């Protein structure tokens, strides 16, 4: 064997050993496929004309369109946030709003339709202090129903899903919880195919109103 051939063979053998070592470190039940690159867009959900409800901060700066902030709010005065435009918004119908300078805001349950870009209001909003939604906690929040994925695996997936469609994400109780504006089940199915079931929990900020 020539020196050059020997070097090539050694390099190939080293690569095989490295792959074998990586495979041996995989977490059972929580293997992370490498088919989803960072900032890959989620598939588009099916558009619906059904009325939805979202809970969040409505904020308008000056003459700009009001926005429905479904994600994190910066703790400043006035607050700062961003979200989809709300069409048909009327502050005269929104109780308990506040104004500081050119910014007006308030926290509400907002009802309307979603076209994957903007939210069109269909009825007057309800201040969150007066809103009592019907629902129950997700059973996967219970420590007795913890997921099987370890923190390192979930953190790796979280980095891969760091994209504009995600409002917020956190690792908790053995799962990665991901909040998006709206999911009719399409996004959940997609991440299940990528990472396996009961690994990523997709939570829709906009829910059926009825």
Q: What is the pLDDT of residue 19?
A: 31
| Weakly modelled stretches of the chain, pLDDT under 50 | 1-30, 32-35
Q: What is the pLDDT of residue 135?
A: 77
- Each residue of 48-91: pLDDT tens digit? 788 999 999 999 999 999 999 998 899 899 999 999 999 999 99
Q: What is the pLDDT of residue 10?
A: 36
Q: What is the pLDDT of residue 40?
A: 57
Q: What is the 3-state secondary structure (H, E, C) of the chain?
A: CCHHHHHHHHHHHHHHHHHHHHHHCCCCCCCCCCCCCCCCCCCCCCCCCCCEEEEEEEEEECCCCCEEECCCCECCCCCECCCCEEECCCHHHCCCCEEECCEEEEEEEEEEEECCCCEEEEEEEEEHHHCCCCCCCCHHHCHHHCCCCCHHHHHHHHHHCCCCCCCEEEEECCEEEEEECCCCCHHHHHHHHHHCCCCEEEEECEEECC
CATH topology of domain 134-208: Alpha-Beta Plaits (3.30.70)
């Amino acid at each position: 064997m020539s020196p050059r051939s020997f070097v090539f063979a050694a390099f190939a053998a080293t690569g095989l050993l490295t792959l074998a070592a990586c495979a041996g470190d995989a977490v059972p039940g929580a293997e992370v496929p490498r088919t989803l690159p960072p900032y890959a867009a989620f598939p588009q959900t099916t558009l619906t004309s059904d009325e939805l409800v979202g809970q969040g901060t409505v904020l308008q700066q000056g003459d700009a369109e009001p926005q429905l902030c479904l994600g994190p709010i910066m703790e400043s005065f006035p607050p700062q946030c961003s979200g989809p435009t709300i069409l048909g918004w009327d502050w005269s119908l929104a109780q308990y709003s506040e104004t500081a300078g050119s910014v007006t805001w308030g926290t509400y349950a907002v009802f309307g339709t979603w076209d994957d870009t903007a939210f069109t209001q269909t009825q007057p909003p309800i201040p969150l202090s007066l809103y009592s939604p019907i629902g129950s906690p997700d059973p996967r929040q219970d420590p007795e129903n913890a997921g099987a994925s370890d923190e390192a695996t979930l953190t790796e997936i979280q980095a891969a899903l760091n994209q504009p469609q995600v409002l917020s994400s956190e690792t908790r109780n053995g799962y990665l919880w991901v909040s998006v504006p709206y999911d009719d089940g399409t996004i959940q199915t997609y991440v299940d195919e990528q990472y396996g079931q009961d690994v990523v929990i997709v939570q829709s900020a906009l829910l059926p109103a009825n």
